[in-house]
Amino acid sequence: MMTAIAGGWRVISLAGDRLPDAMTATIVFGRDGKVSGQSVCNRFFGGYTLSGEGLSFGQTGGTRMACPQAEMEAEQRFLDLLQKVSRVTPDGQSDLRLMAGDQPAMLLRRTDGAEPASPQ
């Protein structure tokens, strides 16, 4: 499964609410258990653990640039949801759904053109 999520993803929605087109959040899953990306306003980095469908993120760090209020609020929501993620499920061929328990946390769409690997 690690290879199935490895690569770049764009955040489409946060907790079921579509992220405005003017805002960009991305997640890049490394095959080495490291994660990084754009958290709307800033860059973030950290680690993740994947076991079957279980997914969790470790403590994250990031840059601290100031942005307009709406972007800062979206970024804080993104970072808060990231810490609540408990599992991942495929959603079609190019999407992933990150779940916080039974609640949707994020919908991701593959951005790097790689096809998801079939589960081993």
Cα end-to-end distance, the chain, whole Å:
7
Q: Which two tokens stand for residue 76?
A: 């804080």
15 — alpha (psi -120 to 50), left (phi > 0) or beta?
A: left
pLDDT digits (tens, 9 = 90+) for 84-101: 999 999 887 889 999 999
Confidence tier at 20 by pLDDT (50, 70, 90): very high
pLDDT at 76: 96
Instruction: Over range 92-117, report the average pLDDT.
Output: 84
Q: Which two tokens stand for residue 75?
A: 């970024």
Taking the CB of residue 102, how many other CB atoms lie within 10 A of it?
7
Q: How far is CA 11 from CA 35, 113, 115, in A?
A: 14, 15, 17
8 A C-beta contact, residue 13 and residue 107: yes
Percent of the chain scored above 90 by pLDDT? 82
pLDDT digits (tens, 9 = 90+) for 55-82: 999 999 999 999 999 999 999 999 999 9
Confidence tier at 115 by pLDDT (50, 70, 90): very low
